[in-house]
Amino acid sequence: MSRSDWIRLRNGLLFISPWILGFVVLNLYPLLSSFAYSFTDYSVLSDPVYVGTDNYERLLKDGLFWQSLYNTFFFAAFSIPASLAVSLIFAVLLNFELPGRSIFRTIYFLPSLLPLVCLGVLWQWLLNGDIGLINAALDPFFDTFNRIFGTSVRPPNWLADPAFTKPALILTTVWTAGNAVVIFLAGLQDVPRSLYEAAEIDGANFFQKLLHVTLPMISPVIYFNGIMALIGSFQVFALPFIITGGSDGPGRSLMFTATYIYRRAFEYWDMGYACAIGLVLFLFVLVLTLLAHFISQRYTYYQGE
């Protein structure tokens, strides 16, 4: 390397030094020591004791861990597509150049500004089975249904019935999809007008244009929003914690892996085991992200490449 190469290298490293320090202290060291702790029995109060693969063996037999993993996968599998679909639909609607669109955009965005604790408390109230607003809105429909069919079905008791807690949480999550709406809208506005013109000359209707022009052109944005939602949903913690009032929900139906790690670590001071669970969670996120990456290589289209 020439002298100026060295100077640039030195300057570059100096400028990124805060990040290097952060990477070592807040990412690399924790990952490595999490790996090390996962082979120990560690309660923070006393030094870690090496126990071999005990934690991992315990994990295989731990029903609560598997339940938390099932809950996490269930939540991810439904909340990600639901959020993507809802945010894409509203972004497409906003992309029509109609008066008032910026007001609509602002309104759609508002829920994603709400602090998670407020969000949780608010939806705990909205979803209240007896006097909640959502069931009040559903009640007339159920009444009509019951009158016609002579049945007596009632709206679900969302947060008290294990069959409905996860749908309730997914609904709450979808409500905060405004962030993705804004990102989608920016992507939509980058699609060249000429492509739509060409499609229209070929006689394409709205849905054909959507399917064959819009979706391929914004596929990188779909990928980006999907990855962000994936990473977010595998660490979902605060919202279920608050919406259940600090419990795990009926039948532990809202106990997610992040919740379980938190409880093992900070309620039972079972740090070694918590680290083992964390690493398994990380493995899943890693595999899924790589999978999404390879799928996206096949299906995303990058303009100008």
Of 166 and 274, CB closest to another protein: 274
- Let me know: does 232 contact 225? Beta carbons within 8 Å: no
In the stretch 235-274, what mask flags binding to another protein with x, by CB under 8 A? x-xx--xx--xx----------xx--xx--xx----x--x
Among 3, 5, 63, 298, binds another protein (CB under 8 A): 5
* Distance between CA atoms of residues 75 and 73, nearest Å: 5
Beta strand ranges found along the chain (DSSP E): 40-41, 49-50
The reply on whether position 203 binds another protein by CB under 8 A is: no
Q: Answer yes or no whether residue 295 interacts with another protein by CB under 8 A.
A: no
Q: Is 205 in the site for another protein (CB under 8 A)?
A: no
What span, in angstroms and rounded, lies between the C-alpha atoms of 125 and 75?
21
- Which of 125, 145, 268, 294: binder of another protein (CB under 8 A)? 125
Contacts 24+ apart (CB under 8 A), 153-158: 155/129, 156/129, 157/129, 157/130, 158/127, 158/128, 158/129, 158/132, 158/134
Task: Identify the burial level of 127 via C-beta atoms within 10 angstroms of its C-beta, where 0-12 means exposed, 13-18 middle and 19 or more buried.
Answer: buried
Judged by CB, which is closer to another protein: 185, or 254? 185
Question: Using CB under 8 A as the criterion, what x/- string covers residues 11-30 for binding another protein?
Answer: xxxxxxxxx-xxx-xxx-xx
Q: Residue count at the site for another protein (CB under 8 A)?
A: 112
Q: How far is the CB of 111 from another protein (least distance, A)?
A: 6
Q: How far is the CB of 166 from another protein (least distance, A)?
A: 19
